[in-house]
Amino acid sequence: MKVKPLQDRILIKRVEEEAKTKGGIIIPDSAKEKPQEGLVVAVGPGKVTDNGTRVACEVKEGDRILFGKYSGTEIKVDGVEHLIMREDDILAIIK
């Protein structure tokens, strides 16, 4: 299945964190929080302003980003969990 986001929406795949701490303690799945870091999979064409011009998104495919804890809507694409959210919900691009 191929998903193309509309307007300023972005499709993101979460980046999994390590299951082990620096000291070697293994963290069980029940104690883990969902990561707030992701990889941009697809980007919409951009937001249309009131005067009809289109403003392109600042993020692009392949960017690593940070987003809010409760941002976006969870969807499954080809059996893999993804998030779809607006560009406004993205906090930062990791360089």
Q: Flag whether 29 is in a domain.
A: yes
User: What is the per-residue DSSP string for 20-49?
Assistant: B-TTSPBPPGGGPPPPSEEEEEEE-S-EE-
Q: Kindly report the pTM of this predicted structure.
A: 0.78
| pLDDT at position 21 over 80 | no
User: What is the per-residue DSSP string for 68-84?
Assistant: -TT-SEEEEETTEEEEE
**Residue 16: its pLDDT value, please?**
74
| CATH code of the domain in which 46 resides | 2.30.33.40
Q: Flag whether 4 is in a domain.
A: no
Domain that residue 54 falls in: 9-17+24-94
If one counts the domains in the chain, the total is 1
**Could you identify the residue written with the tokens 């959210």?**
85
pLDDT category at 11 given cuts 50, 70, 90 is very high
* C-alpha dihedral sign at 33, 38, 42, 46: positive
